């Protein structure tokens, strides 16, 4: 039976649109990249700074495995303050080839004694502060590093810390971090130990002069150098007493969290107005966990569970799995961008309400959230004609055989939380340092390491970035992760501060297996954009056939509809940022669908990744074509 003219015209337009979009996808697959793919046969080391990547290479050259190398890169990046410091937090996924399994490393600090909802409200805060001593959770990175090394590494702590110790003694500082110190000087001047480290040229009589180090100047941290030597000394003494390698590393752990380092850290933190106690450090522990996972087109994708935002990517993949043919929409077409935006909004709305510390009640409904059936329900809620600016969290409890205890809060939940009030009594202005947009994409660093024995490590460490409060003569900067808590149970009843509890953080390394073997290891810098960027990176490889370097350099889009994890926790429904090379007709169509479209030259943090070439038995490494992320392979 002949089709009506209107149907034929519609079919013709659809076919024409498909033909126009397919070359774009094929062109992207064959696109030349700014940086070459990094090929290796024996090992790969990638991280946020060239010097830190060199530290990983040095450890591989000494015979270390991927865990040893990752720990050396972590120590080096902390020493370089690559948007993190030694008092920050470490989140990692490790593939153990001996057992054929992926392990999660939870080394996120916790709220200290006295850090409660009432405490912050009594000081006039609507959210915990962004910076300063009251923003500090307990240090996590030292414990995370030493636990990973003790349990899965092969070298001594002295060997792995050697590059960082040399750097703490003095290294030529790069322009980006030296200038960052100068930009933050008004805050850094308030904290005496930070002032001494970060502003060596400060002249109170002439405030027009530069206070921070100059690019290329030898940046020295004698207190941090002494602290790192104390850890090595503790290890050496334990070995001399007949302890095993693992026991000796944990002796260094004890010195940091229970010995003289801990005592000075607590003294100086409290002197500057912070809350951390010796009991907080003693009770804190690293958790080695089973990560969460989903499957997408036969590929197992792993993320840390809901103490970070990692399950968001898994939820989004579950939703997108219901699309008949994602690739046929065309790479970064208006329909493709709309589909990703809506899937991400649904997953992030769930994050904003349901994610929190799994070691504290109430228990988060993670089984329901990751249910394929729940994803189908959420997929059915997508409006295919326009953006839904009122997306709310769903109810995953029926999909795990339970009843939602917070239906009353869910009913009243709004995607736009109340704005932050005045600065309170913390002694600094919350709005002084980072704007909403800066916080939303604020960097951290990432670490990728793999070796020919099969070990794979993906790390997204962060916290204690500049401006950091340095804790006395330890030289250790404190984390600012307290700000990721909320104080209103109506926003998220699972993420309220109490002593010993972890804030729900953004840090989110990724790993994927195919046929039970490593397929991809990937991570990115960038606050709330991380799982947005990694979702698109993953789809670039799996759906559009890009290699890892092409996928790392490809255009991303960013939604701001979810609640920021920083500062005033703002949300901006309908705001969409695309890279400036997205065609104007695509942008115009998105505007007609209700989006407020903005363009940027860069739309993701630097992505780092490794692809495992099973056919040839080699590694393909990648790092984005901007920023200072760098890799070395052999």
Residue 273 has pLDDT above 90, yes or no: yes
Identify the residue whose tokens are 């115009």.
Answer: 588
- Of 425, 367, 434, 433, nearest to 400 by C-alpha is 367
pLDDT of residue 437: 56
Residue 625 has pLDDT above 60, yes or no: yes
Burial (CB < 10 A; 0-12, 13-18, 19+), residue 278, is middle
What span, in angstroms and rounded, lies between the C-alpha atoms of 115 and 134? 8
Upper half-sphere CA count for residue 129 (Cβ side, 13 Å): 28
Residue 16 has pLDDT above 70, yes or no: no
Residue 1 has pLDDT above 50, yes or no: no
pLDDT of residue 493: 98
Residue 462 has pLDDT above 90, yes or no: yes
H or E stretch covering 379: helix 372-379
pLDDT in tens, 67-77: 999 999 999 99
pLDDT in tens, 490-505: 999 999 999 999 999 9
- What are the extents of the domains in the chain? 38-53+84-130+285-468+491-634
pLDDT of residue 482: 98
- Estimate to the nearest angstrom the gap between the alpha carbon of 29 and the chain centroid: 27
Reported as a pLDDT band with limits 50, 70 and 90, residue 628 is confident
- Output the DSSP codes for 498-530: -TTPPP-B----EEEEETTEEEEEEEE--GGGH
Reported as a pLDDT band with limits 50, 70 and 90, residue 421 is very low
pLDDT of residue 82: 84
Tokens representing residue 165 in the block: 């110790």
Average pLDDT, the chain: 92
What span, in angstroms and rounded, lies between the C-alpha atoms of 281 and 359? 17
- Estimate to the nearest angstrom the gap between the alpha carbon of 113 and the chain centroid: 26
pLDDT of residue 424: 39
pLDDT of residue 29: 57
- Of 347, 326, 345, 346, nearest to 335 by C-alpha is 326
% of residues, the chain, pLDDT over 90 = 87
What span, in angstroms and rounded, lies between the C-alpha atoms of 551 and 528? 20
- The answer to whether 239 and 443 have CB atoms below 8 angstroms apart is no
Alpha carbon distances (Å) from 555 to 337, 540, 551, 593, 595: 11, 10, 8, 20, 18
pLDDT of residue 526: 86
Crossing angle (nearest 10°) for helices 245-258 and 141-152 = 170
pLDDT in tens, 211-263: 999 999 999 999 999 999 999 999 999 999 999 999 999 999 999 999 999 99
- The answer to whether 124 and 117 have CB atoms below 8 angstroms apart is no
- Output the DSSP codes for 186-210: HHHTTSHHHHHHH-TT--TT-TTS-
pLDDT of residue 434: 55
Residue 439 has pLDDT above 80, yes or no: no
Reported as a pLDDT band with limits 50, 70 and 90, residue 431 is very low
pLDDT of residue 435: 57
> φ, ψ for residue 618 (rounded to 5)?
-130, 175
pLDDT in tens, 277-292: 999 999 999 999 999 9
Reported as a pLDDT band with limits 50, 70 and 90, residue 363 is very high
Strands 575-579, 596-600: pairing is parallel
% of residues, the chain, pLDDT over 70 = 91
- Of the given ranges (382-386, 402-406, 522-526), which has the lowest mean pLDDT? 522-526
Residues 6+ apart with CB under 8 A from 345: 388, 391, 559, 561, 562
pLDDT in tens, 147-201: 999 999 999 999 999 999 999 999 999 998 999 999 999 999 999 999 999 999 9
pLDDT in tens, 278-331: 999 999 999 999 999 999 999 999 999 999 999 999 999 999 999 999 999 999
Considering the domain delimited by 38-53+84-130+285-468+491-634, tell me its CATH architecture: 4-Layer Sandwich (3.60)
pLDDT of residue 419: 60
Whether omega before 467 lies within 30 degrees of 0, making that bond cis, reads yes
pLDDT of residue 25: 47
Burial (CB < 10 A; 0-12, 13-18, 19+), residue 495, is buried
- Of 332, 380, 253, nearest to 31 by C-alpha is 332
Residue 22 has pLDDT above 50, yes or no: no
What span, in angstroms and rounded, lies between the C-alpha atoms of 148 and 310? 20
Residue 272 has pLDDT above 70, yes or no: yes
Reported as a pLDDT band with limits 50, 70 and 90, residue 28 is low
Length of the chain: 634
- Of the given ranges (24-38, 343-357, 571-585), which has the lowest mean pLDDT? 24-38
Mean pLDDT of 388-409: 97
Crossing angle (nearest 10°) for helices 311-320 and 372-379 = 60
pLDDT of residue 418: 67
pLDDT of residue 416: 82
Reported as a pLDDT band with limits 50, 70 and 90, residue 83 is confident
């Amino acid at each position: 039976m002949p089709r009506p003219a209107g149907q034929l015209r519609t079919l013709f337009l659809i076919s024409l649109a498909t033909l126009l979009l397919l070359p774009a996808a094929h062109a992207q697959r064959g696109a030349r990249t700014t940086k070459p793919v990094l090929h290796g046969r024996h090992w790969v080391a990638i991280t946020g700074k060239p010097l830190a990547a060199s530290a990983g290479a040095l450890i591989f050259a000494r015979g270390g495995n991927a865990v040893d190398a990752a720990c050396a890169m972590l120590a080096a990046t902390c020493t370089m303050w690559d948007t993190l410091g030694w008092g920050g937090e470490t989140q990692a996924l490790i593939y153990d080839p001996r057992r054929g399994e992926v392990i999660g490393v939870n080394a996120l600090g916790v709220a200290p004694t006295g850090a409660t909802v009432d405490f912050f409200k009594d000081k006039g805060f609507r959210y915990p502060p962004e910076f300063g001593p009251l923003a500090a959770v307990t240090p996590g990175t030292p414990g995370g590093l030493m636990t990973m090394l003790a349990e899965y590494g092969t070298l001594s702590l002295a060997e792995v810390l050697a590059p960082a110790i040399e750097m703490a003694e003095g290294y030529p500082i790069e322009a980006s971090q030296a200038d960052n110190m100068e930009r933050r000087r008004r805050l850094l001047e308030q904290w005496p130990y930070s002032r001494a480290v970060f502003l060596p040229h400060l002249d109170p009589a002439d405030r027009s002069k530069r206070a921070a180090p100059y690019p290329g100047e030898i940046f020295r941290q004698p207190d941090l150098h002494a602290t790192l030597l104390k850890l090595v000394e503790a290890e050496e003494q334990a070995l001399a007493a007949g302890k095993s390698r693992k026991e000796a590393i944990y002796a260094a752990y004890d010195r940091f969290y229970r010995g003289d380092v801990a005592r000075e850290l607590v003294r100086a933190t409290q002197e500057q107005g912070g809350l951390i106690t010796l009991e907080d450090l003693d009770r804190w522990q690293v958790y080695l966990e089973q990560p969460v996972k989903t499957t997408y087109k036969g590929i197992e994708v792993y993320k840390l569970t809901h103490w970070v935002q990692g399950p968001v990517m898994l939820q989004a993949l579950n939703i997108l799995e219901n699309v008949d043919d994602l690739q046929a929409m065309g790479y970064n077409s208006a329909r493709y961008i709309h589909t990703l935006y809506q899937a991400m909004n649904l997953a992030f709305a769930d994050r904003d309400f349901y994610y929190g510390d799994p070691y504290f009640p109430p228990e988060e409904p993670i089984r329901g959230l990751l249910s394929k059936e729940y994803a189908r329900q959420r997929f059915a809620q997508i409006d295919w004609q326009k953006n839904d600016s009122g997306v709310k969290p769903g109810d995953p409890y029926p999909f795990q055989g339970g009843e939602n205890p917070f239906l009353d809060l869910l009913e009243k939940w709004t995607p736009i939380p109340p704005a932050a009030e005045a600065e309170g009594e913390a002694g600094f202005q919350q709005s002084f340092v980072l704007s909403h947009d800066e916080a939303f994409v604020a960097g951290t660093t990432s670490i990728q390491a793999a070796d020919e024995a099969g070990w794979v490590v993906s790390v997204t460490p962060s916290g204690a970035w500049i401006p950091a409060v340095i804790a006395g003569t330890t030289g250790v900067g404190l984390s600012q992760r307290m700000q990721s808590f909320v104080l209103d149970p109506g926003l998220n009843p699972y993420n309220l501060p109490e002593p010993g509890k972890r804030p729900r953080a953004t840090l989110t390394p990724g790993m994927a297996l195919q046929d039970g073997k490593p397929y991809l290891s990937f991570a990115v810098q960038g606050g709330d954009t991380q799982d947005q960027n990694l979702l698109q990176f993953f789809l670039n490889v799996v759906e559009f056939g890009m290699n890892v370097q092409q996928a790392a350099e490809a255009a991303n889009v960013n939604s701001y509809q979810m609640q920021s994890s920083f500062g005033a926790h703002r949300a901006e429904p309908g705001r969409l940022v695309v890279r400036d090379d997205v065609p104007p007709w695509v942008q115009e169509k998105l505007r007609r669908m209700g989006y407020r479209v903005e363009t940027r030259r860069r739309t993701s943090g630097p992505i780092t990744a490794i692809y495992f070439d099973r056919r040839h038995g080699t590694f393909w490494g990648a790092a984005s074509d901007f920023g200072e992320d760098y890799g070395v392979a052999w």
